[in-house]
Amino acid sequence: MDSRAAVATAEALSVSFAELAAVLRGGPEAAGFGDADPLRRVADDFLDGLAEISRLDAKSAALKVWLAAGYSAAAEALAGPSASPQDHTGQEMAVVAEVACVLTVSERAASALLAEAHQLTTALPLTLSALQAGTISWQHARIMVDETVNLDPAGAQALEAHFLDPDVANPARGFAGELIPGRFRHKARTWRERHHPVSIEKRHTKSAADRRLEYAPDRDGMAWLSTYLPADQAAGIWDRTTTAARALQGPHEGRTLSQLRADTTAAWLLGGTGDQAGIDGGSVAAGVPSPRAQVLVTVPLLSLLGVTDEPAMLDGYGPIPPSMARQLIAVGAESFHRVLIDPRDGAPLEIGRTSYRLTKAQRQWLRLRDGKCPFPGCSNHSLDNEADHLLAWAYGGSTGISNLGQPCHKHHRLRHTTAWTPTTASKNEPPGWISPSGRHYTSEHPDWEPPHWPANIPMAGTGTSTSPGSFLDVHPELDLDLDLDLDLDLDLDLDKSMPPPES
């Protein structure tokens, strides 16, 4: 953004605010009381105003970024070359302190703003342009900065282009600004993990050494207890605790699911009875069963065999090292269900059924397709969600994957008690939604990617041939019949491709 663009942005902001203020001051006539349906027009005007304010906030943030970066550069030029590293540090501290004072924020916040402004103005031009246009929020821009940290320039540009350049090869499905920031972070981090220049195995090995348990006192006699663990362990603990907590729910149980999770965990860790962990008159029964988790692990076939080093996907978490996935499968971990994907295009299979009830395989497929509640912005994990016919069974709807959603309890209730309506789905895409005001909102689409195909393995139509002594001889027209009930009948010599389980 140059000075002319900054001036144009400031002028546009002034005009937009003036126009919005005029509408809000206009009274009944400007609000539309002359229309046939004045209340609907009033409601639509307020929604349009909120949307416009959101865009103005983004444009204002872009201008703030440009001003902060400009001041930093000007202050550096005024100070001149540093005589020593200590002088350089002192100059940086002075700039941070000045920005903190003028914005009335902490120096920590000012330092973060200056770092983000520098990254946006020097390394992330697409992000800054989208912010200036108001098509992404300041939160989205900060996430882009955060997720490109420690990437080389080419990697940062590739991540940015994937989400913000519709003309790039294999762009993201859906624009970044249409996702709430938390979901955008999840998708950006997943893409980063898949395409990071450093192997996920190496990064995981380094990070696993930092595993720890942390304790932090809080207000009102409470405290936080958190653990930093390998993803497979953490996911298994979470799903196992959730299953136990849901088993305790009933008409005479007054605790919420969150409270039951906490009480169950405390009872397990303390090794006592539920009376030690119960609250509000409730208790976790002694001898609470230790249920198995139901975690899906999606593994590219060639990664399972050790031919490639591609990450697997852990349901509810994201990419994990292939060695972790291979280990889970090698030791026969009953809590984890493996799902193999076609090595040619990464696509799973449709599963159909003519009866009302879903099969176990269909429920797992919904979890694989959606990963979470499909309502826009909802992050409720798929284990807690409820299957729902988009076109009701009573009105001729089938129990096929394309006619099924898996909303969480809150959004399932929203669908059946209000005018919110789901749109159609497909075997690979969750349903979108239409609000009572008639606005269409798309669900988050999973970014399926074709797995990496090694050069020494033939693929249909490529004309390649298997080199002598290659690890695996795959027929070009192989049609993998992947049974999502996970009774896979594949003649795979896994002993050669994965390490033995640790004792």
CA dihedral 430→291→259→266, nearest 10 degrees, is -140
Range of the domain at 429: 360-441
Range with the lowest mean pLDDT among 47-61, 363-377, 421-435? 363-377
Mean pLDDT, residues 374-378: 83
Q: pLDDT band at residue 60, thresholds of 50, 70 and 90?
A: very high
Q: pLDDT band at residue 23, thresholds of 50, 70 and 90?
A: low
Tokens 């973060």, residue located = 112
Which of the pair, 349 or 457, is modelled with greater confidence? 457
Which of the pair, 122 or 415, is modelled with greater confidence? 122
The answer to the question of residue 434 being in a domain is: yes
pLDDT of residue 407: 86
* Residues in contact with 20: Cβ distance below 8 Å, sequence separation at least 6, in sequence order: 49, 52, 53, 56
181 and 279 part of one domain: no
Instruction: Kindly list the distances between the CA atom of residue 157 and the CA atoms of 82, 127, 198, 277, in Å, as whole numbers in the listed order.
Output: 31, 10, 16, 50
Domain boundary (243, 271, 293) is at 293
CA dihedral 217→220→225→226, nearest 10 degrees, is -90
Which of the pair, 86 or 121, is modelled with greater confidence? 121
Residue 50 has pLDDT above 50, yes or no: yes
239 and 192 part of one domain: no
Residue 308 has pLDDT above 60, yes or no: yes
Residue 121 has pLDDT above 90, yes or no: yes
The answer to the question of residue 128 being in a domain is: yes
51 and 173 part of one domain: yes
226 and 257 part of one domain: yes
Residue 11 has pLDDT above 80, yes or no: no
Q: What is the mean pLDDT of the chain?
A: 76
Residue 132 has pLDDT above 50, yes or no: yes
In percent, the amount of the chain with pLDDT more than 90 equals 24
Mean pLDDT, residues 452-457: 73
117 and 50 part of one domain: yes
Q: Which of 429, 434, 457 is nearest to 444 (CA)?
A: 429
Tokens 């920590």, residue located = 108
Residue 139 has pLDDT above 90, yes or no: yes
Range with the lowest mean pLDDT among 257-271, 337-351, 461-475? 461-475
Q: pLDDT band at residue 500, thresholds of 50, 70 and 90?
A: very low
The answer to the question of residue 171 being in a domain is: yes
Domain boundary (441, 470, 489) is at 441
Judged by DSSP in three states, 321 sits in coil
Q: How far apart, in whole angstroms, are the C-alpha atoms of residue 72 and residue 92?
A: 9
The answer to the question of residue 477 being in a domain is: no
Going edge to edge, which strands form the sheet with 421-422?
A: 421-422, 433-434, 440-441
DSSP 284: P
Range with the lowest mean pLDDT among 80-89, 206-215, 260-269? 80-89
The answer to the question of residue 314 being in a domain is: no
pLDDT of residue 465: 46
The answer to the question of residue 353 being in a domain is: no
Query: 100 near 107, Cβ under 8 Å?
Result: yes
377 and 265 part of one domain: no
Range with the lowest mean pLDDT among 15-19, 28-32, 160-164, 361-365? 28-32
The answer to the question of residue 150 being in a domain is: yes
Going edge to edge, which strands form the sheet with 312-314?
A: 318-320, 312-314, 295-300, 336-341
Rank 41-50, 142-151, 393-402 by mean pLDDT and report only the highest.
142-151
Which of the pair, 131 or 9, is modelled with greater confidence? 131
Beta-sheet strands, E only, within 218-331: 223-228, 295-300, 312-314, 318-320
Judged by DSSP in three states, 227 sits in strand
- HEC readout, 363-428: HHHHHHHHCECCCCCCCCEHHHCCCEECCCHHHCCCCCHHHEECCCHHHHHHHHHCCCEECCCCCC
Q: Which of 151, 96, 153 is nearest to 125 (CA)?
A: 153
Q: What does the pLDDT look like over 318-355, one tens digit per residue?
A: 788 888 887 776 665 556 666 666 565 555 433 333 44
Which of the pair, 273 or 96, is modelled with greater confidence? 96
Mean pLDDT, residues 438-450: 76
The answer to the question of residue 47 being in a domain is: yes
Residue 379 has pLDDT above 90, yes or no: no
Domain count, the chain: 3
Q: How far apart, in whole angstroms, are the C-alpha atoms of residue 312 and residue 498?
A: 14
Q: How far apart, in whole angstroms, are the C-alpha atoms of residue 55 and residue 136?
A: 8
Count CA within 13 A, CB hemisphere, residue 300: 26
73 and 179 part of one domain: yes
Residue 63 has pLDDT above 70, yes or no: yes
Instruction: Kindly list the distances between the CA atom of residue 67 and the CA atoms of 12, 61, 123, 249, 296, in Å, as whole numbers in the listed order.
Output: 16, 10, 17, 54, 47
Mean pLDDT, residues 406-418: 86
Give pairs for 83-86: CB < 8 Å, separation 24+.
none
For the chain, helix (H) and strand (E) counts, in that order, are 16, 11
24 and 168 part of one domain: yes
pLDDT of residue 495: 37
102 and 232 part of one domain: no
Q: What does the pLDDT look like over 210-244, one tens digit per residue?
A: 999 998 888 877 889 999 999 888 988 998 899 89
148 and 63 part of one domain: yes
Q: What does the pLDDT look like over 153-189, one tens digit per residue?
A: 999 999 999 999 989 888 888 788 988 999 899 999 9
Q: What does the pLDDT look like over 265-292, one tens digit per residue?
A: 988 888 754 443 443 434 444 444 444 5
CATH number of the domain encompassing residue 381 = 1.10.30
Domain boundary (172, 201, 230) is at 201
pLDDT of residue 258: 92
Residue 205 has pLDDT above 60, yes or no: yes
List, in sequence order, the alpha helices (H) in 123-230.
125-133, 138-147, 153-164, 181-195, 200-208
Tokens matching residue 319: 């990419």
71 and 152 part of one domain: yes
Judged by DSSP in three states, 236 sits in helix
Q: How far apart, in whole angstroms, are the C-alpha atoms of residue 103 and residue 499?
A: 56
Tokens 């159609």, residue located = 424
191 and 258 part of one domain: no
Phi, psi of 405, rounded to the nearest 5 degrees: -125, 175
CA dihedral 407→411→413→415, nearest 10 degrees, is -90
pLDDT of residue 28: 47
pLDDT of residue 295: 63
Mean pLDDT, residues 442-457: 72
Global pTM reads 0.63
